[in-house]
Structure 1
Amino acid sequence: MPKAYAYTRNGGPETEAFIERDRQRPGPGQLLVAVRAAGVNPVDWKLRQGLRRPGSPEPELPAVFGSEVAGVVAELGPGVTGFAVGDAVFGNPVGGGYAEYALLPVTVAARIPRGLAFTDAATLPVAGATAYDALRQLDLPAGAALLVTGAGGGVGVAAAQLARAFGVRVVGTASESKKEFVESLGAVHVSSAAEGLAERVRAAAPDGVDAVLDLVGGEVLETVAALVEDRTKLLSAADPVGVPRLGGSPVRRARTAAVLDEVARLVTSGALRPFVTRTFPLERAPEALRAVEDGHVRGKVVIEVAA
């Protein structure tokens, strides 16, 4: 039976386990995909802990980890057109992606362009598309200054590159160990240490910042919110509950195949590099998740699934 990595109840790593599940059958509007790569994101362990957006349904347990995959179409659901068995695709699965097989709704699935590796494509449905959606929501003009907190992580790396491609100046907070990495993205690095954070940002951007994209939440969000006058330009992908209290908004996710196509185009054009810095086989999914949960990884972590 196909294998998957799941959590069996809310809590810490002790709730995680490999499980076997029947090979799924795609329903109307779905593709069954033989997974080749699955992106690892902070949302994975946050869901395990029981953190969800307001109004989100309780998951059915055991719940398989993973919300972005790339792979090969193995079966089409009833009435599905526009795809064929054998197509290389990527997108946002329902029912998890740390698995040998996953279900993709066609509304959030796109073909992988020629020359784009499965491991790179698997970083785009969450990290790449979240960054793209955030920048479109901010709608900054060329020359504007954007502060990105957590600029060394998956979404931050994508946001910094895309902002630069759109002509926006970027100041990025990250640990001192990620200074060279953040600067290689074309951003001005600011140490993410809590004490004196606002003062360091003001020193890095003496004319102020026009917008903030928060990828950390909590105390960091509280601190950087004061740096932007127009709170419509304060977005958070990390703290959708806290940011409205500060006058800002959560990142509005489009979740469409059109966005996936555009993000993939930006990769193939050279405007966006996925920066997959670590890969793990499915058998080592716990290590992959710990690497992201520990908060020290640069770029993206991806789980690779053998064909």
Structure 2
Amino acid sequence: MKAYVFTQYGGPENQEIQELPTPEPGPSEVRIAVRAAGVNPIDWKIRQGFLREFLPRDLPAVLGGEAAGVVEAVGQDVDGFAVGDEVFGNTSSTSGAYAEQALLSAAATAKKPGGLPFTAAAVLPIAAATAYDGLAQLKLDAGATLLINGIGGGVGVVAAQLARDRDITVVGTASEDKRVLVESLGAILVPSGDGVAERVRQILPEGVDAILDLVGGDALRAVAELAGDRSRIVTAGDPGTAAEVGGVLIERDGTSTVLDAVVALVAQGKIDSHVGEVFPLDDAGSALAAVEAGHARGKVVIEIG
């Protein structure tokens, strides 16, 4: 099969297309013919080696953690899936999504509704599910205020819609060029950068009830003071900085239960993943570069086949 891999930890110069053996599903896995793969910040962070202590990879390793496609083979002890099923889910720890075939963890895979494009389904397992888990963890009531730090990416876009549906007031930090997208979500854009906390207080003088952080680092430090209760700060990817300011990492459910819930919301028209750019597998490097640069509006997808 054709796959987009990284050959050693480091920068994008270590990425390339390779021909690899078609993987065989082990227990609790299914193999799919990939039709689309979501592109996420965690992909380049894994390549860079930032997460190698927690997510080690045998190299070369196929990039990507979420995909949608058609079941080709079913591993032992797998119930509920059969060859020919259209599904979406998270890749297993030994596989990657930027490829013509991928192994999915059966426990983190769900059936795709027939009317949902593969490109839309492929972006649900990581970004949409993370947003769902984050909102569930914060347990905000109607009328609460939420700051989404880095609202313009895949997680932020879905989180804003989930919060809006629960009558939560959302302000979100992002670059000015994402204003149209952010306002289309029913959220209030606060331009990121120096003075961001003061700009939020111009809108919400008392600060916010909670912060969903999707950036980390200094960007999180800059807004943490806005949360009256620091335990209501959750982050998608920087537990170290979150702990420093009194917050915690999002507790991921990681099962098909959340995927079923998310896809039901999509079917009801309550979530639009806002797929922005779609790239072919041969141009996977450009797809990942768009996410790594932080300029993507909504989700970036690799389409295969």
TM-score range, shorter chain: over 0.9
Q: Partner of 1:107 in structure 2?
A: 107
- Deviation sequence 1:222-265 (CA, Å, 0-9, x none): 11111112111001113122211211101111101000000001
Deviation of 1:29 (Å)? 1.1
Aligned positions of 1:23-34 closer than 5 A: 23-34=22-33
Contact 1:64 1:96 in 2 (8 A): yes
Secondary structure at 2:226's aligned position in 1?
coil
- Paired residue for 1:118? 118
The whole-number CA distance in structure 2 between the counterparts of 1:15 and 1:61 is 11
Aligned length: 303
| 1:156/1:215 contact within 8 Å kept | yes
| CA–CA separation in structure 1 for the residues paired with 2:5 and 2:86 | 25
Residues 207, 245 of structure 1: alpha-carbon distance in 2 compared, 3 angstrom cutoff: closer
- SS in structure 1 of the partner of residue 102 of structure 2: strand
Tell me how far 1:79 sits from its aligned partner: 3.0
Structure 1 residue 57: deviation in Å?
4.0
Separation in structure 2 between the aligned mates of residue 141 and residue 7 of structure 1, nearest angstrom: 43
CA apart distance, 1:291: 1.0
For 2:55 and 2:289, locate their aligned partners in 1 and report how far apart those are by CA, in whole Å.
25
Residues 195-242 of structure 1, C-alpha deviations (whole Å, 9 max, x = no match): 111100111223421000111111110111111121110011131222
> Could you list the runs of 5+ residues in structure 2 that have no partner in the other structure?
none
Structure 2 counterparts to residues 183-222 of structure 1, below 5 A: 183-192=183-192, 194-222=193-221
Deviations 1:79-101 (A, max 9, x none): 32211100000000021100000
2:148 is paired with a residue of what secondary structure? strand
Q: Which stretch has the larger CA shift, 105-114 or 131-140?
A: 105-114
Structure 1 CA distance for aligned equivalents of residues 180 and 203 of structure 2: 16
On the 8 A contact 1:235/1:251 being kept in 2, the answer is yes
Q: Say whether the 8 Å CA contact 1:190–1:204 is kept in structure 2.
A: no
What TM-score comes out, normalization by structure 2 length? 0.97
Indicate if the aligned counterparts of 2:46 and 2:55 stay in contact, CA closer than 8 A. no
Q: Who is 1:294 aligned against?
A: 293
Deviations 1:17-37 (A, max 9, x none): 111111111111110100000
Q: Distance in 2 between matches of 1:71 and 1:299?
A: 21
Measured on the aligned residues, the alpha-carbon RMSD in Å equals 1.0
Q: How does 1:53-68 map onto structure 2 within 5 Å?
A: 56-68=54-66
- Residues 171, 205 of structure 1: 8 Å contact kept: no
> Partner residue of 1:72?
70
| Distance in 1 separating the partners of 2:26 and 2:47 | 26
3-state DSSP of counterpart to 1:225: helix
Match of 2:249 in 1: 250
Structure 2: how far apart are the matches of 1:60 and 1:7? 10
TM-score, structure 1 length as denominator? Answer: 0.97
Q: For residues 265 and 45 of structure 1, what CA distance do their matches in structure 2 show? A: 30
Name the structure 2 match of 1:284: 283
Q: Distance in 2 between matches of 1:72 and 1:60?
A: 26
Could you tell me whether the CA contact under 8 Å between 2:152 and 2:182 is conserved in 1? yes
Provide structure 1 residue ranges, at least 5 long, that are not aligned to the other structure: none
1:42 aligns with 41
CA distance in 1, matches of 2:114, 2:56: 38
Maintained 8 Å contact 1:26/1:76: yes
What SS does structure 2 have at the residue aligned with 1:226?
helix
Is 2:21 the partner of 1:22?
yes
Paired position in structure 1 for 2:80:
82
Runs of 4+ residues over 4 Å off in structure 1: none
